[in-house]
A and B are shown apart, each in its own frame.
Chain A
Amino acid sequence: MAAKQRTKRVTRNPDLIRGIGKYSKSQMYHKRGIWALKAKNGGAFPHHDPKPKPEAPAVKAPKFYPADDVKKPLLNKHKPRPTKLRASITPGTVLILLAGRFKGKRVVFLKQLPSGLLLVTGPYKINGVPLRRVNQSYVIGTSTKVDVSAVNVDKFDDKYFSKEAQKKKKKGEGEFFEAEKEEKNALPQEKKDDQKTVDSSLITAIEGVPELKAYLGARFSLKSGMKPHELLF
């Protein structure tokens, strides 16, 4: 709808009870001033002819009509949006990863990507976790926060982390085994540099807090007597 500045519609006919107005049809006719509009227009209510529509191209009769009525699917106007982020997770929060290669590692949260996944970094020098995407469901948000104002994460999005498209290889027996060996992809230098720039400002912020560096370097584990439902993270 066009965002025109319209004054709010005020009814001149207050409700006595829901469904019954105070004034009758003829009283409302007088109140709205339809008689004045008609007088101005010489006896009839002003009527504008509809604008001439551009001629629609002639549609041919379809060759085929389905025997039974075809149902039209219902309209769906939902737009995809990233998952709702838990209130406990804000940029700079220390998260505990619960699954995957780095389970138990304590990691710094940077931002939520458009796909809904969380962008996270070790920092790499401290605990070996690189810039990585992680699902919110596999994470515990602690109440410890690190200052990430000095870090610029604008250039990272989901495309940065996508796998490179595999070139189609012809299956030849001898070549097959050689191809397996060459599969090992080295990390491009650009990604290593990105890791270094993000981590350098983070590490200075982390070293400012006593014992935080050792905390991030250690893994979390449940010990005897710890009850997760009673622990405050």
Chain B
Amino acid sequence: MPFKRFVEVGRVALVNYGKDYGRLVVIVDIIDQNRALIDAPDMERSQMNLKRLSLTDIKIDIKRVPKKKDLIAAMEAADVKNKWEKSSWGRKLIVRKRRASLNDFDRFKIMLAKIKRAGAVRTELAKLKKTAA
């Protein structure tokens, strides 16, 4: 199977270890076999080991080491934020974050909602079974 996501200038990646865990960054330059220069609109440009990055499908069109406002403009043009939030990986992360921030009361309300939904599904299923039989 060929590789599909490459480490290249413009590749959007997710930091998966360290202080910036969970942040979306763009690779703006490659330092050597193990390290890349990364940048994001709300952080200082810095180097990071490629082992700390998980590559995503998203790629933006930038030159090597663009200025901050060029980077931001390119990210807007490629609509990185929306693409990420619509992607299934991005959606899973959002759900995980929401679940982690739940209150005890929220968890109770969710339990009631789940029971209600399961009840509705079961009555529909029973109806369908009855007509099929």
Residues of A participating in the B interface, judged by any CB pair closer than 8 Å: 94, 96, 106, 142-144, 211-212, 214-215, 218, 220, 230-233
Whether A233 lies near B103 (C-beta < 8 A) is: yes
Dominant SS at the B interface?
helix
Kindly specify which of B2-10, B46-54, B104-112 makes contact with the partner chain.
B104-112
By a CB distance below 8 angstroms, the chain A residues around B102 are 232
Q: Give bound CA distance, A214 to B116, whole Å.
A: 14
Residue on A nearest B102 in the bound complex, by CB:
A232
Whether A232 lies near B103 (C-beta < 8 A) is: yes
Task: Quote the shortest CB–CB distance from A207 to chain B (angstroms).
Answer: 15
What is the number of residues of chain B that contact chain A, defined by CB distance less than 8 Å? 9
Q: Give bound CA distance, A154 to B101, whole Å.
A: 36
By a CB distance below 8 angstroms, the chain A residues around B112 are 211, 214
By a CB distance below 8 angstroms, the chain A residues around B103 are 142-144, 232-233
Q: Give bound CA distance, A94 to B102, whole Å.
A: 15
Say if the beta carbon of B100 comes within 8 Å of chain A: yes
B108 in complex: contacting residue of A143, A211, A230, A232, CB < 8 Å: A211
Task: Quote the shortest CB–CB distance from A90 to chain B (angstroms).
Answer: 16
Q: Give bound CA distance, A173 to B104, whole Å.
A: 54
Task: Quote the shortest CB–CB distance from A23 to chain B (angstroms).
Answer: 54
Q: Give bound CA distance, A231 to B112, whole Å.
A: 19
Residues of B participating in the A interface, judged by any CB pair closer than 8 Å: 100-105, 108-109, 112
Q: Give bound CA distance, A96 to B103, whole Å.
A: 13
Q: Give bound CA distance, A142 to B105, whole Å.
A: 8
User: Known contacts A211-B109, A211-B112, A214-B112; is A144 also within 8 Å of B104 by CB?
Assistant: yes
Whether A220 lies near B100 (C-beta < 8 A) is: no
Task: Quote the shortest CB–CB distance from A225 to chain B (angstroms).
Answer: 11
Task: Quote the shortest CB–CB distance from A162 to chain B (angstroms).
Answer: 33
Whether A218 lies near B108 (C-beta < 8 A) is: yes
Residue on A nearest B109 in the bound complex, by CB:
A211
By a CB distance below 8 angstroms, the chain B residues around A232 are 100-104
A sample of 9 more A-B contacts (CB under 8 A), given A211-B112, A230-B100, is: A143-B103, A143-B104, A144-B104, A211-B108, A211-B109, A215-B105, A232-B100, A232-B104, A233-B103
29 example contacts (A-B, Cβ-Cβ < 8 A) are as follows A94-B104, A94-B105, A96-B104, A106-B104, A142-B103, A142-B104, A142-B105, A143-B103, A143-B104, A144-B103, A144-B104, A144-B105, A211-B108, A211-B109, A212-B105, A214-B108, A214-B112, A215-B105, A215-B108, A215-B109, A218-B108, A220-B104, A230-B100, A231-B104, A232-B100, A232-B101, A232-B102, A232-B104, A233-B103
Q: Give bound CA distance, A33 to B58, whole Å.
A: 84
| Interface core residue of B101, B103, B105 (most chain A CB under 10 Å) | B105
